[in-house]
Amino acid sequence: MKSRYVKNADFKGSGEMRNIRKNSINKRQQLSSKIISGTNQIIVFINLFSILFYGFRLENLIVILISAVLFYIERKNLPEVVLFVLAYPLSWLFFIPLKNEEIEDFFNIPLPPEIRLNIDETVKSVLPVKTTIIIGDTTEKKAVTQKLVTYVTHGIDVEENMKYLRMLQKDPHMDIALYAGQAFEDIENYFEEQIAKSRNINDIESCLTIYNYLRTGIPKGVVRQDLENLLRAKMENVSNRLPEYYEIMYYLEKDENYFLKGYEVTKEPRLLKKYLLEKLRKREYNIVKAYLSETTRKLICEN
């Protein structure tokens, strides 16, 4: 029988072999990515020269589609592929390495989280809300529930944080589910009290209170309709020089042109970002392309 030291040596050796194989696979993937990228660059430049000397033909469109496929194989990111095609003939710029993932920041694409289950207890207090909901104990989940109430009542990521509260309300632990149910009641009481106090006041703060309450999804039916009508009436007396004015009007009217008008008036980058994302969602790529200059990209990514 092998001693435990021999077993440990065997385990260490097998671990080193796995690392070697893993490194080898990573190197092959990197090499494959460089080959695809290099080939695609050549195709792009040849296609550009062809368009320059012979004009745009059907063959050029087919080559653009081939480049887009290669670009997707390399990046595995559909929004980047859309920008790659829309930016033609400047698509060669996408092969220049960026210090920051600006395109991912532009579309606010969430990256898959790497959750380690072996987490030191002293670190759990600073974990993100979503991670705490997954791996936290009863005390931590109760604490994060109260934190979510504070976020929602202050208008911070209302829809997302309400989604987390609904997840906690379905928690198998009865105490947590009851605590989350109480959080819903606290949020409802807070907003109803604030709306009652400011019902006859027509300023942006009172409008934001109603707006954030509607975003929680708590008001239903006739109550919701009454609140929307009250908000519309209040908005008639609010200055249109404020970015929040255009966010609220979009919410009420579902017209993304409010975002564009708001950007033109206030120069607030997040309004332009929301406008372009709405147009992208509706597949109105020509409009997105018209606003996708280097200046606006940097402006939105830095916001």
Burial class (CB in 10 A: 0-12, 13-18, 19+), 250: buried
Question: What is the full DSSP assignment across 196-216?
Answer: HHTTT--SHHHHHHHHHHHHT
Is the confidence at residue 6, as pLDDT, over 50?
no
Contact 198, 209 (CB under 8 A): yes
Q: How far is it, in rounded angstroms, from Cα 131 to Cα 117?
A: 10
- Greatest mean pLDDT range, 6-20, 129-143, 196-210: 196-210
Q: Which of 84-88, 133-137, 198-202 has the lowest mean pLDDT?
A: 84-88
Is the confidence at residue 18, as pLDDT, over 60?
no
Coil/strand/helix, residue 155? coil
Structure tokens at 167: 């997840």
Structure tokens at 268: 């607030």
Q: How far is it, in rounded angstroms, from Cα 221 to Cα 299?
A: 40
Q: In 10 A of CB 213, how many CB atoms?
A: 25
- The phi and psi torsions of 188 (rounded to 5 degrees) equal -60, -45
Q: How confident is the model at residue 286 (pLDDT cuts 50, 70, 90)?
A: confident
Q: How many residues does the chain have?
A: 303
In tens, the pLDDT along 174-195 reads 999 999 999 999 999 999 999 9
Chain centre to alpha carbon of residue 93:
24
Q: What is the pLDDT of residue 105?
A: 46
Q: What is the pLDDT of residue 27?
A: 63
Average pLDDT, the chain: 77
Q: What is the mean pLDDT of residues 59-68?
A: 78
Query: Cα–Cα distances in Å, from 91 out to 28, 37, 84?
Result: 26, 12, 5
Which has the higher per-residue pLDDT, 294 or 268?
A: 268
Q: How far is it, in rounded angstroms, from Cα 3 to Cα 10?
A: 11
Is the confidence at residue 146, as pLDDT, over 50?
yes
Query: Cα–Cα distances in Å, from 41 out to 28, 90, 98?
Result: 20, 12, 16
